[in-house]
Amino acid sequence: MALTSSDVRRIAHLARIEISDAQSEQTLIQLNEIFKLIEQLQAVDTSGIEPMSHPLGGSQRLRADVIGDHPDRDLVMNNAPASQDGLFLVPKVIE
């Protein structure tokens, strides 16, 4: 299997990363090299084997649905690229 440059542009769009045409050519070459490595997995017989999603198996612990500790609001907002009145600012999405 080999990717095409239209695949790379589609994936980049899904991943929300802007990519120029020149970059997508370079990325295409590298991704195809990496996929050659990954292709080895297709030859492995895995019939009857359960996928392993986690080293220790079992289900993950859930916490009770109650309000717990939360960080200070001002400290959180200090890291926002743009904010006003304790709210995050984004470009207008509704005219």
- Binding residues vs other proteins (CB under 8 A): 3, 7-8, 11-12, 14-19, 27, 30-31, 33-42, 44, 46, 49-56, 60-63, 71-72, 75-76, 78-82, 88, 90-91, 93
Q: How far apart are CA 63 and CA 46, in angstroms?
A: 35
Tell me the closest approach of the beta carbon of residue 39 to other proteins, in angstroms: 8
Tell me the closest approach of the beta carbon of residue 60 to other proteins, in angstroms: 4
**DSSP helix, strand, coil percent of the chain (3-state; round to 5):** 40, 5, 55
Tell me the closest approach of the beta carbon of residue 64 to other proteins, in angstroms: 10
CA proximity to 20, closest of 2, 8, 3, 32: 8
